[in-house]
Structure 1
Amino acid sequence: MFDQLAEIGYARMSMDAVARRAGVGKAAVYRRWPSKQAMLIDLVEAAILRNLPEVPDTGSLAGDVRGFLDVIVGQAADPRVRRIALDVLVETTRIPELAAALHDVVDRPRRTAAALVLTRAIARGELPADVDLELGLDVLISPLLLRLLRTGEQVDDAYLTRLTKVIVTGLGAV
């Protein structure tokens, strides 16, 4: 199903097509998932749970930020993941229930992992105790995801080094 979702996208994917590709009857698919949305959420959640980011603890904010960025790059290395992520992101603008469900299985676990990077830095005295955590999470996560998912531009060691410096500097200002 993951390959099929990456190939044709959520809007064009049907329970019939999933059943045909799996070599089972449509009833078998519906016994497992009551809807296409439930199937997508289950598929994404299974992929996410297998790939939850391990929060690096290098002993420094800069090291932890770089380690976290490396995890994100690793997770987005598969072009299918990028295609599905973009496709599903668009669908969530049309389907609020899908947006809410995916927030629970995609966004929240990643933001929780990223929050550890920030709270460790606060505990070490590298960030002020009153740092705006929500804004800090946006600063930590968003620039790289935008580059990986939308622009398709190069993400190499030099870029990640520069981005780490920018994020660490920015976190000090939030």
Structure 2
Amino acid sequence: MLRAMTTERGTRRRAPAGAAVLREDVTDAIRAAVFEELAAVGFARMSIEGIARRAGVGKTAVYRRWKSKLALVLDLVAAVAAQGMPAPATGSLHGDVRAVLELAAYALRHPVASQVIPDLLVEAARNPEISEAIKAALLDQQQGVAAVVVREAVARGELPEGSDPDRALDLIVGPLYWRLVVVRGELPKGYLDDLAASAVAALKHV
């Protein structure tokens, strides 16, 4: 994106004369429209025309920023991945696991995410580029959170040395993903508390 930038000394550097300055509000509107369009029609049926219409802009505004709908979606997934999920620091393994479940449940129950994620996972099976982007957005950053949770639990003596963060991630988030994304069922009252207790018990006896 060509726009005025701030240097380390705090001075403003102007965009080159004649360069197109892309408005951030338009870019944000297009990104929001992509989420909505994905949820409404899926990646296969999504089009630049539909995105532009939903964003209230012309197709040219989209093509100035992204060369194709694939490039647009990959950029969007990368932006989501960059935001990351903060590692909890509650002071106990149960508290950390419960916090991870709370954040994951919130994300998976979002009305747009609940439609977009399954569709992109289907596309990932056919498209290596989408597969890598989804891996970075959904798996890599969650593995990082799981690694922190396990490392801190080991340091507190709650888990044995050599506990596997990948297995911890499977035990913590796997059942939640199954219920919310695959089965698409509601969470009964107390479900996250029970799941946290079960995951902690399983981790301590693996």
| Residue of structure 1 in register with 2:190 after alignment | 158
**1:60 pairs with 78, 84, 92, which one?**
92
Structure 1 residues 76-114: Cα deviation after superposition (integer angstroms, max 9, x where no partner)? 232111110111111111112210122123321122122
Residue of structure 2 equivalent to 1:142 = 174
Q: TM-score, normalised by structure 1?
A: 0.89
* Aligned residue type for 2:49: D
Does 1:86 find its partner at 2:118?
yes
Which structure has the larger Rg?
2
- Distance in 2 (alpha carbons) for counterparts of 1:29 and 1:148: 33
- Displacement of 1:117 in angstroms is 1.2
1:12 counterpart residue number: 45
The verdict on how the C-alpha distance between 1:157 and 1:71 changes in structure 2, with shifts beyond 3 A counting, is farther
CA deviations 1:105-159 (Å, max 9, x no partner) are 3321122122211111111111111112222222222111111111122214411
5+ long unaligned stretches in structure 1? none
For the aligned residues, what is the CA RMSD? 1.8
Residue number among 58, 72, 94 corresponding to 1:25 in the alignment: 58
For CA contacts below 8 A with separation 6 or more, give which structure has more relative contact order: 1
Report if aligned partners of 2:81, 2:136 keep a CA contact under 8 Å in 1: no
Q: Percent identity?
A: 41
Greater helix proportion: 1
Q: How many corresponding residue pairs? A: 173
* Kept after mapping to 2: 8 A contact 1:45/1:106: no
Gaps of 5+ in 2: 1-32
